Amino acid sequence: MYDQQTASEDKRLRIIKGAIKVFSQQGFYKAKIEEIAEQAGVGKGTVYEYFASKEELFLEMFLYIEERCRGTVQRELSGVSAFSDKLQRMFVVIMRFLRDHREMGKILFAGSPPVSEDTQRVLREKNQQMLADLSGMLEEAAAKGEIRPVNVGVAAHVIFGTLLFVAAQVLFSEDEGLDYNRLAQEVNGVILEGLAERRPGRSS
C-alpha cells in the first residue's frame, strides 16, 4: 500500500535526484534551490521541509551517490573469490560508476562544495569505511596465501591512493576511448607485482 511515509520518502529521493542534475550542471555555488525544486517537481518550500540548507542537501546527495557506488561494488564483488580478480573488478566497477557521474565527481574532486566541520567528519568516516573494506580484503587474501604477509593498514592506504588516481583518470581525462579494463589490469599488475625487477634466484 502506498502510504504517507512511502510518499514522503519518494519525494525526498526526487529532490536528491534533482539536486544531482542541477549541481552537476551548475556547480554548488551557482545552483539554486528553485532549480532543484523544479527538477524534483516540488515547491521551493518543500525542499526546505526535507533539507535545512543547500549545504545539507549537497551532503545528503553525496551520501546517496556514495551509498549507490558502495552497493554496486559489493554486488559486483560478491561472486568473485580470487583477490587479484576482486581487486581488478573493483577498479573497473568504480571507474564505470564515476563515468556515469562524471560531472558530480569533478565537483567533489575540485573541492568546490563548502567543507564544514560536519562535512569533514562525514568524509573522514567514509574514507575510513573504505580503508576498512580494503583492509578486510587484504587480511582475507593473506590468510588464503594469495598475498604475502603485509601491513594491511599501509597496503590499504596504497590501494586507496591508487583508487584516487584512477578516479582522476576517469573524471579528467580527455580520452573518451579510455579502456577501463586495460587500465585496471595495468594498475592491478603494479599493485600485485610491485616495481622491482625480478632476477633469477631472488626471493619474492
Q: How far apart, in whole angstroms, are the C-alpha atoms of residue 162 and residue 192?
A: 12
Number of separate helices (H) and strands (E) present in the chain = 9, 0
Q: How many domains does the chain have?
A: 2
Is residue 51 within 8 Å of 15, Cβ to Cβ? Answer: yes
Q: How far apart, in whole angstroms, are the C-alpha atoms of residue 32 and residue 46?
A: 14
Residue 167 lies in a domain: yes
| C-alpha dihedral (142, 147, 151, 153), degrees to nearest 10 | -80
Residue 203 lies in a domain: no
Whether residues 82 and 23 share a domain: the answer is no
Whether residues 187 and 90 share a domain: the answer is yes
pLDDT computed for residue 1 by the predictor:
47
Tell me: the pLDDT tens digits for 73-132?
999 999 899 999 999 999 999 998 888 888 777 777 765 566 677 777 888 898 899 999
CATH number of the structural domain spanning residue 10:
1.10.10.60
Which three cell numbers mark 95?
571507474
Residue 198 lies in a domain: no
Whether residues 118 and 159 share a domain: the answer is yes
Whether residues 31 and 98 share a domain: the answer is no
Which three cell numbers mark 46?
518543500
Which three cell numbers mark 44?
521551493
Whether residues 85 and 17 share a domain: the answer is no
Instruction: Give the predicted TM-score (pTM) of the model.
Output: 0.80
Q: How far apart, in whole angstroms, are the C-alpha atoms of residue 170 and residue 187?
A: 14
Residue 171 lies in a domain: yes
Whether residues 166 and 87 share a domain: the answer is yes
CATH number of the structural domain spanning residue 104:
1.10.357.10
Q: Domain containing 75: what range? A: 65-193
